[in-house]
Structures are given as C-alpha cells and as structure tokens.
Amino acid sequence: MKRTAFDSEMEMFRDSARKFFQGEIAPHSERWREANIVDREAYLKAGEMGYLCIWMDEKYGGLGLKDFRYEQILIEENVFHGDRGFFFWLHSRLVAPYLEHFGTEEQKQRFYPGILSGEKILAIAMTEPDAGSDLSSMKTRAVEKDDHWVLNGSKTYISNGINADVVLVAARTHPEKSHGLTLFLVERGMEGFERGRNLKKMGLKSQDTSELFFHDVKIPKSNVLGQPHSGFHHLMQGLAEERLLGAIYNIAAARLAMQITKDFVRERRVFGKPLSTMQNTRFKLAALDTEIEVAQCWVDQLVARHNEGQLDAVDAARAKLYTSEVNGRMVDEGVQQHGGAGYMEEYPICLLYQDERVHRILAGTSEIMKEIIARSILDC
C-alpha cells in the first residue's frame, strides 16, 4: 500500500532519518543488546541531528516541527533500521512535553539545552511494585518543608532508568485524596536518589530498565513540575499521545515482522518448493497483511487528528489495543512460519518476538484499554 499521509519534504526527512539509524544506531545494536543498555552517545548523535524534541521552539534551539508526522517517521525508521531498544521517543515525546506544558520558563531555560543536545536523558517514574495502571495505589510520598520537599519511596520497571539524568517522578503529596499527586524533577546526583538493578528482560534488552529508590531526597521547590497536588491531572493529559506513540510503534513492528517473514518463506523450500506457495502460508499472511494495512490507515488518521488537536483518549486506547494485538499475532505467526529457525536468536524474527510481547503491557495493558473503551460505550 502506498501511503499518502506524507508530503515530499517529509519523505526527504525520512530518507535522512533512515541513513542516520542505519549508520549510527544499527551497527551498535548487538553490542547494546548484550550490554543491556544503549550508549549515551546515541542520544548525543541524535541531538546533533536535531532528532530530539523536534517540536521544540526555535527560541530554545529546536527545529520547531510541530507536525506529529515527523515524530511518526522517526519511530518507524528506528523500528525498521535502528534499534528498538533506543527509546529516544520516550525522552522526546513522552517526558519532555510535560516540561513544555507545565514547566516554568526558568525550568525550560535550565533543562531544555541538555535535553535537546542529548546530554540530559529523560525518564518518567510512575510504576511501583504494587502500583501500575492504578495510580491511586501509589506509595511514594513527598512532604513539603519550608523551601523544599522530601521524597521517599521506590519505583520499578523504569525505562531509561540507568541512563536518565532527569527523572519525572510522581509522588503522593495529599494523603486524603486518592489522586493527590505532585510531579517532581529528580536530577542525577541528588543525595538519597539511588538506582537499583538494570533489570533482565525477555526482550528490548538494549533498553535499560531499572528500579529507582528515594531516601529522604531533598527536592527544591524549583523542581516541582506544574501545580502541587495536581500531578494526576497533568499525567492524564499525556496518556492519549503516549498510546498513539505506542500504536505507531506497534504497527511499524508488525510491518517489519511481515517483511522478514515474506522474505523467509520465499526462500525456504518445503517438499521441493518454496514455503510461499503453500496455501496455509499464503492465507495466514494474507489475513495478517489486511489487518496491518487497515491498522496503518487508522493510525495515520489518528495522527492527522492529533495534529488538529482532536485526538480522543478513547480512540487512542482503541489504537493501542488493536495495534498491539495485531503486532502480537504477526510476530507469533512469523515465528511459526520460520519453524525451528524462528526459535533461534540468530534469526531476526526471534528477537522481534521477544521485543514485541511487552507492547500488550507497556503504556497500559490490553485489559486496561478494554476497560477505558467499555466505559465510553456502556457507562455513558
């Protein structure tokens, strides 16, 4: 299918991004996977190219590219030609926008230069051992003092947790209110801020995911992001875009799995002829190809809506749910069509299968997405 969502200037941007990911990211992928972490230099190189926070205003040194399709292009090209564990989009499009929307001018002047250059890597810390999608169960707390806050608690499964220089931490600050949260900018080197293990994962092994611990961390009031006790509402404003980012990633990965599988079944011979001539293979891939193309059209439409400021939280949940399920079916079928080879890590489909399982969990499980959708159609 020829996509019509991108103009000629965007396709030039795509060509440039593809060369960057092929030349500067992909050659290090195997080493990063073995080390369980992406080199910090990857962020510096992306910063040099202007690929971090491309939406940021020129007055701060950014490119000022507000069109969300540019971010879509970067994610797609990284999935196809870079390293899926290089979570630059979490830095650029998931965490940094909270500073844009709720940060003071002083905070922007202080943090934006390093965020743009890749010298200050970002992470967000919400999940706890006993609190995932249910933020009302959060136990990390902060208490206000004269000119600062004191933060105590722990977070887990934090992407970019080892590499991060600035972590956006959600903590309970109003004990009487289930959603009485405040957002804090916790910086590398703050006394009492410690990192735990770089967690061993099924997939996305080059992406550092860690535990974070806060022991009487003194947070200056200048590092409070947004209004105190309003953190829950601040976080909710970013969830629809986060789920659209997930949908973009999911469908790109599904397209990659389809391409890998098509190439394999054309070459693999069974009973003296290519596997691609077998009806079972043809029909399975035809059905999945249809799902992928339909999902791609819908994701492109939602990106257009987001550009117009009309992205609906329920539609974003639908997109995240559907694309993660399509992605899961595609990588699973890809392994099946590879036979025993699909179980071997020397084959790309095996690594893709490992990497993609998390996307029915990341940014809200499929079950949470179904509940959001169900509320919109049954409880109105």
Active-site positions?
242
Which residue type is seen at 19? K
Strand partners, 158: 210
Residue 218 near residue 191 (C-beta atoms within 8 A): yes
- How many Cβ atoms sit within 10 Å of the Cβ of residue 230? 18
Token pair of 275, please?
A: 């596997």
DSSP assignment of 242-254: HHHHHHHHHHHHH
Name the maximum alpha-carbon separation found in the chain: 79
Residue 218 φ/ψ, nearest 5 degrees:
-85, 115
CA distance 290 to 91: 33
Tokens coding 197: 């293990």
* Nearest to 193, CA basis, from 209, 210, 214: 214
Question: b/e per residue, 120-147, with b = 16+ CB within 10 A?
Answer: bbbbbbbbbeebbeebeebebbbeeeee
- Torsion region of 357: left, alpha or beta (phi above 0 gives left; psi -120 to 50 gives alpha): alpha
Which element (helix H / strand E) includes 210? strand 209-220
